[in-house]
């Protein structure tokens, strides 16, 4: 099960991807809400084709030592790309004792 999911959206300006900030070691999938097939790639990672209304397989796991911004692309459509900002998770402060 993924930790985060990015929606692939059809807009008046073309296809857009939800922006995402996620910590290292997170598993990411893409949910295709458009009427077209998409395929996401980043470096050596590539999803299977993502049919309309479906989610990507396999999920992408962010490297545990990753930092900065990951820019991924749709291999089926020129000029379709998105980003994931990799940020360390901030621990929740402890609840005050009663």
Q: Is residue 93 assigned to a domain?
A: no
Give the residue-averaged pLDDT of 76-84: 96
Which CATH number does the domain housing residue 30 bear?
Answer: 2.60.40.420
Its domain, for residue 55, covers: 4-86
Can you give the pTM of this predicted structure?
0.87
Looking at the structure of the chain, the number of domains it has is: 1
Q: Report whether pLDDT(53) > 70.
A: yes
Q: Is residue 94 assigned to a domain?
A: no
Q: pLDDT > 70: what percent of the chain?
A: 98
Per-residue model confidence (pLDDT) at position 84: 97
Q: Is residue 92 assigned to a domain?
A: no
Strands (E), the chain: 4-11, 14-17, 20-22, 27-32, 40-42, 45-46, 60-61, 68-74, 81-86
Q: Is residue 36 assigned to a domain?
A: yes
Q: Do residues 40 and 72 lie in contact, with contact meaning Cβ atoms separated by under 8 Å?
A: yes
Q: Is residue 95 assigned to a domain?
A: no
Q: Report whether pLDDT(38) > 90.
A: yes
Place of tokens 């990753």: 66
């Amino acid at each position: 099960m993924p930790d985060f999911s990015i929606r692939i959206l059809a807009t008046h300006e073309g296809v857009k991807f939800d922006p995402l900030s996620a910590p290292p070691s997170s598993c990411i999938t893409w949910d295709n809400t458009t009427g077209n097939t998409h395929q996401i790639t980043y470096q050596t990672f590539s999803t299977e084709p993502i049919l309309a209304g479906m989610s990507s397989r396999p999920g992408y796991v962010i490297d545990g030592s990753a930092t900065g911004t990951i820019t991924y692309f749709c291999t089926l459509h020129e000029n379709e790309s998105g980003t994931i900002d990799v940020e360390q998770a901030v621990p929740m402060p402890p609840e005050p004792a009663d």
